[in-house]
Amino acid sequence: LEPQDRELAEAAIEATKGSYAPYSGFNVGAAVRLDSGLIIKGSNQENAAYPSGTCAERTAMFYASAAYPDNAMVSIAVTASQNGNLCVNPATPCGACRQVMAQYQTKGGRPMSILLVGDGKIWKFEKVDDILPLIFDSI
């Protein structure tokens, strides 16, 4: 793994510590790299009103866009742990998070790469189109 990807994967693992998942026990961490080099972390935040909770990826991306609206997101890493142990299989983003990735990729005007991080196994995709075919981007 390139040093920048390794750093982002480690930030995603670090981000799982902020997860609030009392219902699923599935602690997801995400880390977004901005074009400035800054890394923004997010984690899943659950709620007793289940649909009010949000995924790690959207927590990170919404924070990145809200706090740094002029910076493109160049990469996002995602990982998950259960009972304090990194999951063996890489966490794969839900459809809603892929759609949100797609739009921030368009907003940023450059490809957003995706790193799905498991314990000893990492899948890398160069752009959102590779994990979301037929992207909806027009209204």
Active-site amino acid positions: 57
- Considering the complex, state which of residue 91 and residue 100 has its C-beta at the smaller distance from ligand THU: 91
Q: Return the number of the residue (16 or 71) whose C-beta is nearest ligand THU.
A: 16
Q: Which residues bind ligand THU (CB under 6 A)?
A: 21, 24, 26, 28, 44, 46, 53, 55-57, 78, 91, 93-94, 97
Query: Which among 65, 90, 72 is positioned nearest to 12, based on CA atoms?
Result: 90
In the bound complex, what is the minimum distance in angstroms from residue 124's beta carbon to ligand THU? 16
Query: Measured from the CB of residue 86, what is the shortest distance to ligand THU in angstroms?
Result: 14
The alpha carbon of 34 is separated from its chain's Cα centroid by a whole number of angstroms, namely: 13
Least Å distance between CB 37 and ligand THU?
A: 24
Buried b or exposed e, range 10-42, using 16+ CB within 10 angstroms? ebbbebbeebebeeeebbbbbbbbbeeeebbbb
CA distance 119 to 99: 26
Number of helical H runs and strand E runs in the chain: 3, 6
Of the candidates 131, 121, 138, the one whose C-alpha atom is nearest the C-alpha of residue 95 is 131
Report the residue number, 33 or 58, with the smaller CB distance to ligand THU. 58
* CB-nearer residue toward ligand THU: 35 or 63: 63
Query: Whole-number minimum distance, CB 70 to ligand THU, in Å?
Result: 26
